[in-house]
Amino acid sequence: MTAQRIRQEGGRVAIWDLNPVTLEKARATLGDVHAVRLDVGNHDEVVRAARASTDALGRIDILVNCAGITGATAPVQDFPVESWLQVLNVNLNGTFYCCREIVPRMLENGYGRIVNIASVAGKEGNPKASAYSASKAAVIGFTKSLGKELATSGILVNSITPATFESPILDQLPQSQIDYMRSRIPMGRLGLGEECAALVCWLASEECSFSTAATFDISGGRTTY
């Protein structure tokens, strides 16, 4: 929905995704977008994608890091090591790789907006979701570091911490986990994609001019810090 809103407001969009079906659906919905199939947890693939998208769009002003997987739902003593490494690789390393390759292009133009999608799990931790919680806490810390590094460059870096939203990522979770997370939201409902997109698009705009290295809550009252 973020890409759709940016397109509606006149922006050009590049979408990166591992799933070719998702990319085809995006093309069908959004129209003229640059689409790249890649694994954001693979640095070489991110390097190639950054080059291709820069060539296609001419310049990159906005980067939204939203790729994420939940991993297994299990206590730490039973958590599969392979799942742990995969979650950290996509959620954290993928964010690092994308920023590493896009930031130099923004520095050339003296302007940029980066929005990293973290989670309330990164603030509070969710039981039986240790890899996801750890990865999102790391994204928050990474955002603070990068935002301070770039504070005088014209590039602002912020993260958001959504509670549970109606999104395809829920397909990776058992219903019991979804019910637990809904029960923690004082507003008593899951978030909607357009609500998240509205916050992301403000952070990605010129109107966001004095906020960087910050974390913005969008959790229906679950986390208020």
Question: Catalytic residues, which ones?
Answer: 132
Question: Identity (one letter) of the amino acid at 52?
Answer: A
CA proximity to 107, closest of 40, 60, 142: 60
Cα dihedral value 138, 64, 3, 175, nearest 10: -10
How many Å apart are CA 206 and CA 61, to the nearest integer?
A: 10
Nearest CA to 3 among 39, 40, 31, 44?
A: 31
Give the chain's largest Cα–Cα span: 49
How far, CA to CA in Å, does 25 sit from each of 7, 20, 31, 33? 15, 9, 10, 11
